[in-house]
Amino acid sequence: MEKKSVPSLVKDQQLINKRRQQIIKGAVRLFIEKGFHRTTTREIAKESGFSIGTLYEYIGTKEDVLYLVCDAIYDEVTERLKKQLHTTGSAINRLEEAIRAYFLVIDSMQDEVLVMYQETKSLPKETLPYVLKKETEMVAMMEEILADCKKEEALDLTEKEMKLITHNILVAGQMWTFRRWAIRRHFTLEEYINLQIKNLIHN
């Protein structure tokens, strides 16, 4: 499943990226407040600081905006996890840094993450498999680092235990967004990350 090509009438890629970031930020605020289906493209344009005509120079449909939100999150997480796959140091340290990097991305894009998991079901059938494939790739990268920990005998895990820990890591990161109204009354981000690393891989 290939990456969707979102249509644009503009040829300057740098300008496209800049405008689409504005569109994502504006749309996310509306999607959280009103939901995807109740938000109109005219409202997205206004929230992004554009006319409706300008908006359609950078996207084709409202569904394109939701796709861009999901793709931006996965691209950022994937980029940070890849750095931990190709750095030196012990596998357990790389795993800790990968978890930390993942949680920091979730924190910096918390509204986008909330929208993604609430509204993924609204993606068109042709783009949903691509988004799900990106999540599978993210899981595989974390599993690869866990496998290195097993090779170095830093962790003694079965294949099923590695898969479960990987999903636990992803859910723990997402919980910082979904349960933020409760969790942040008790923990700073740094405290939360350190405690989760301890509970996930050092117990």
Average the pLDDT over 54-59 and give the result: 94
Where in the chain are all domains bearing CATH 1.10.10.60?
8-60
pLDDT above 70 for 80: yes
Is the pLDDT confidence value at 198 over 70?
A: yes
Above 70 in pLDDT, residue 192? yes
Q: Average pLDDT of 178-201?
A: 94
Helix (H) or strand (E) holding 139: helix 128-151
Q: Mention every residue, 6+ apart, whose C-beta is less than 8 A from residue 19.
A: 10, 48, 50, 54, 57, 58
**Ranked by mean pLDDT, which of 4-8, 33-37, 56-60, 104-108 comes out on top?**
56-60
Print burial letters for 142-155: b (CB count within 10 Å at least 16), e (below 16).
Answer: bbbbbebbbeeebb
Q: pLDDT tens across 122-166, in order?
A: 888 888 888 888 888 888 988 999 999 999 999 999 999 999 999
Band (57; pLDDT cuts 50, 70, 90): very high
End-to-end alpha-carbon separation of the chain, Å? 38
Q: Per-residue pLDDT for 1 more than 70?
A: no
| CATH 1.10.357.10 residue ranges for the chain | 62-201
Average pLDDT over the chain reads: 89
By C-alpha distance, which of 99, 39, 170, 172 is closest to 48?
A: 39
pLDDT tens-digit series, residues 154-184: 999 999 999 999 999 999 999 999 999 899 9
Confidence tier at 14 by pLDDT (50, 70, 90): very high
The architecture that CATH gives domain 62-201 is Orthogonal Bundle (1.10)
Tell me what pLDDT residue 77 has.
Answer: 81
Min mean pLDDT across 31-45, 65-79, 89-103 is at 65-79
Q: Which CATH superfamily is domain 8-60 in?
A: Homeodomain-like (1.10.10.60)
Please determine, for residue 2, whether its predicted confidence score (pLDDT) is greater than 80: no
Q: What number is the average pLDDT over the span 88-96?
A: 90
